[in-house]
A and B are shown apart, each in its own frame.
Chain A
């Protein structure tokens, strides 16, 4: 009892403190972006077969730029679909394929006319795209549907979908064309509070089937994969979250490790190697390239504005000398890291020139490409792609979101947990509430305006508090944001748009099942005609345009690890994308919210529903 009173007093004191703090912080209104500046946000590149042209995907401007390699001139700007992500060139160079992540299409560009000749339908949220050696088959990694589309390039018909990892994202094809490798950004949905599991999905292009899944334990958040020209060495950029321990040891490095997975015959299996070093981290190992002679590996740290150069021979020799895994030994990198090359803001894709002498780096947050001399391992130039020079509050906020410079020793940025401004599929033990208490799911941050308060306990009244003192104190343990920076960061987050819902019909109508589910969601009486108490009606707590009353309730989902069973009502927009569910990710699917974790009908009246009706309800929820 005394302990309970103590906790209550502490909570009250904290609430008062946060409220006072909130009042003293700059107030940021959610509103439309303050400028329509057309930033480019270059993210990925590909060479024409002759090496004379560089195709650059620009996420923000929905463009593919054609850049003359010789002098860095932007020759053409081709409009593609919405939020393009990656690019591939057909072996004969006649076609360029660009994945449009918000349109669920691939734009096919005729390089003779430099026009989009066709848009091919893909799975939901296409990212990585590669063409096979014949040019007849296109492989597309779909992040939302977690699969790989196999598409006939001649007809544009999707022949099949292959099951890939959760949040399938990046692809690489072996030089001989026999294998396609696929990474994914979210860990596999498994048992709650277990070590994250990921996989490299290996596709046999002859059979167009998955033939191997290379397991990666402890990895969550894999980005680019590259394969050497002889097919004997593969490299993946990745994160290793330390989410099973309390986030109380930032200063000891217990938040994220940034590493590579090296696989293939040269590695003699699968080896994870750290890229961080003692007392400094290189966050978000995003783009990867292997020199044609395999002498060096280049990897961009997109949160650290750095390209790391690794001596492959020394790396493999060091790995062989270590009998036990050394991915958490931050002293290891000193044995194989040759150089850290400063590049532009938020470097993403890296691309090796065909002769291996130059490395191009897409600097997403300053609309440039860095050019690196791979012999001297130094930056030798910057290609300005022609983006606006004025930095708006929105742009500045995004730059702050993606940089890890504010965290202690540069360990991580907002983007580590909110991958591409989404989520990470992990639970964290965040707060200074005692170890192992208040395990929380990482919520989606799209379209947040009107969903406050924040945190699962509703303890943060505004994003200003959430991103300011809370982040500074509990997360970064380091330099805090200035008032202006905080305002811009909050402004960016509050203006993160909602991704299109993939489960609604294109005409906006609901299917029969979704209509039936909607009726269940909104019902006020049970199947036997008895009134359902207000608090047990779905639409009571999940009300309003974002499907949250912005109030906190005890819906019977509290666990022994929770200090209080009262939780903030989460918004339901795009809820289909964010499995697992509940405040602690204990429900692996929407179904389990009711089939497992609602035994007393406190989280909505569900015990009278048949399985068909529960399925209908879920079909409706997926449209929100």
Chain B
């Protein structure tokens, strides 16, 4: 009887124990992605080294910089500026309509649509766009959502109707909307000072998620809600919300919250500019102290070392053990603003150039 109970117990516990470690038998260091980094700056074709955002469209890479939108194709850069019809030279956000191939470009002075080379621009003066500073843009079917300095906007591309969302019709205490992420059922917004806003497509209803302890600098209730209301980025994937703030990051599966801070995770910094979820368990974090990858258990950090500037990669396992990985290349800078994916490769926007992480294993 005791043996049978022990067997049952083991059957229950073993899978849990296994879940604490990476599923593969590989050592953690070899299981985490390793990249050879190729960096692009003004020295090799980029219009500006301040890269705010990056987007991959099949074999084409778009980089939103402080001085134009750059397209990398067939080994060459082509740059779009206001002279080509772009709303502004400072490009803050990008979104691809995968059905049509059209690119939506959020800038410091309006929203542009690039469709097979043609550029149409929407501003707060010539359209219903809520504000010209377009921090974020996302495509949901025929709707284009924008996160702006004065609330969120939604353009119905079939009818041309604009709908505005702000403190008057949503639980948005502040209207500085910093990012948007669209999914098949919900649209999420990172609202600076107002947490995360959730829009349910089927009902048209809004819900807000804010820091439960209401403390700007102190986290009293770590996993009971959003880590902080100064949100900078959201990523909605597999019905899971990833949210970034300047004071740590959050993961919400619809029932429970899990928060990450530098002191108790592999995050190199709490100051996160962007988070991109790959699925419900894995995500990339763009922080001011490097690029971090989280596989659900372990963390990997990629950056030029903060002190020496030499290429650096390290892995933090589930036990908190830090293992350096010898590397010869690193992203262009440790201040990371954005990331996108090209197969196994990554493209990373940094404060001093665009980086292409060529997957090595």
Q: Give A residues with C-beta under 8 Å from B.
A: 123, 145, 147, 159-163, 199, 201-202, 207-213, 502-503, 513, 588-589, 591-592, 595-596, 611-612, 614-615, 618-619
Instruction: List chain B residues, Cβ under 8 A from A212.
Output: 116-117
Docked pose: A212 CA to B118 CA in angstroms: 9
CB distance B157 to A611 under 8 Å?
no
Docked pose: A155 CA to B125 CA in angstroms: 40
Name the distance in Å between B303's Cβ and chain A's nearest Cβ: 37
B124 within 8 A of A: yes
B263 within 8 A of A: no
CB-nearest residue of chain B relative to A202?
Answer: B116
Docked pose: A16 CA to B150 CA in angstroms: 55
18 contacts between A and B (CB under 8 A): A147-B158, A160-B100, A162-B100, A163-B120, A210-B115, A210-B116, A213-B118, A503-B159, A513-B161, A513-B163, A589-B126, A591-B125, A591-B127, A595-B126, A611-B124, A611-B128, A615-B162, A615-B163
Q: Could you say which of B99, B116, B142, B158 has the most chain A C-beta atoms within 10 Å of its C-beta? A: B116
Task: Please pick, from B116, B126, B150, the residue contacting A611 in the complex, using a CB distance under 8 A.
Answer: B150
Instruction: List chain B residues, Cβ under 8 A from A592.
Output: 125-126
CB distance A199 to B118 under 8 Å?
yes
CB distance B158 to A595 under 8 Å?
no
Instruction: List chain A residues, Cβ under 8 A from B101.
Output: 207, 209-211
Docked pose: A219 CA to B117 CA in angstroms: 19
CB distance A591 to B164 under 8 Å?
no
Docked pose: A592 CA to B127 CA in angstroms: 8
B interface, over-half SS: loop
Task: Please pick, from B128, B131, B150, the residue contacting A615 in the complex, using a CB distance under 8 A.
Answer: B128
Docked pose: A565 CA to B269 CA in angstroms: 62
Instruction: List chain B residues, Cβ under 8 A from A619.
Output: 161
Interface residues on B, range: 20 to 34
CB distance A213 to B116 under 8 Å?
yes
CB distance A595 to B124 under 8 Å?
yes
Instruction: List chain A residues, Cβ under 8 A from B158.
Output: 123, 145, 147, 161
CB-nearest residue of chain A relative to B168?
Answer: A612
CB distance A210 to B100 under 8 Å?
yes
Task: Please pick, from A160, A502, A595, A596, the residue contacting B99 in the complex, using a CB distance under 8 A.
Answer: A160
Instruction: List chain B residues, Cβ under 8 A from A596.
Output: 125-126
Name the distance in Å between A309's Cβ and chain B's nearest Cβ: 34
Q: Mark B125-151, 1 if CB is under 8 A from A, else 0.
A: 111101100000000001000000010
CB distance B127 to A163 under 8 Å?
no
CB distance A163 to B115 under 8 Å?
yes
Task: Please pick, from B99, B115, B159, B166, the residue contacting A612 in the complex, using a CB distance under 8 A.
Answer: B166
Instruction: List chain A residues, Cβ under 8 A from B120.
Output: 163
Docked pose: A612 CA to B172 CA in angstroms: 15
Instruction: List chain B residues, Cβ under 8 A from A201.
Output: 116
CB distance A211 to B116 under 8 Å?
yes
Instruction: List chain A residues, Cβ under 8 A from B115.
Output: 163, 210, 213
A interface, over-half SS: mixed
CB-nearest residue of chain A relative to B117?
Answer: A213
Name the distance in Å between A129's Cβ and chain B's nearest Cβ: 18
Q: Which 4 residue pairs spanning A and B have beta carbons closest together?
A: A209-B101, A210-B116, A595-B125, A615-B128
CB-nearest residue of chain A relative to B120?
Answer: A163
Instruction: List chain A residues, Cβ under 8 A from B131.
Output: 611
B345 within 8 A of A: no
CB distance B100 to A209 under 8 Å?
yes
CB distance A163 to B162 under 8 Å?
no
Name the distance in Å between B251's Cβ and chain A's nearest Cβ: 33
B174 within 8 A of A: no
B88 within 8 A of A: no
Instruction: List chain B residues, Cβ under 8 A from A611.
Output: 124, 128, 130-131, 150, 164
Docked pose: A596 CA to B126 CA in angstroms: 8
Q: Could you say which of A201, A213, A589, A596 has the most chain B C-beta atoms within 10 Å of its C-beta? A: A589
Instruction: List chain A residues, Cβ under 8 A from B126.
Output: 588-589, 591-592, 595-596
Instruction: List chain B residues, Cβ under 8 A from A591.
Output: 125-128
CB-nearest residue of chain A relative to B141?
Answer: A160
Docked pose: A618 CA to B162 CA in angstroms: 10
10 additional contacts (CB under 8 A) given A163-B115, A210-B101, A615-B162:
A163-B100, A163-B113, A209-B116, A211-B101, A503-B159, A589-B127, A591-B125, A592-B125, A615-B164, A618-B128
Instruction: List chain B residues, Cβ under 8 A from A612.
Output: 164, 166, 168-169
CB-nearest residue of chain B relative to A594?
Answer: B125
B102 within 8 A of A: yes
Instruction: List chain B residues, Cβ under 8 A from A145.
Output: 158-160
Docked pose: A204 CA to B124 CA in angstroms: 33
Docked pose: A41 CA to B145 CA in angstroms: 44
Docked pose: A615 CA to B158 CA in angstroms: 17
Name the distance in Å between A623's Cβ and chain B's nearest Cβ: 11
Name the distance in Å between A462's Cβ and chain B's nearest Cβ: 35
Q: Could you say which of B130, B160, B168 has the most chain A C-beta atoms within 10 Å of its C-beta? A: B160
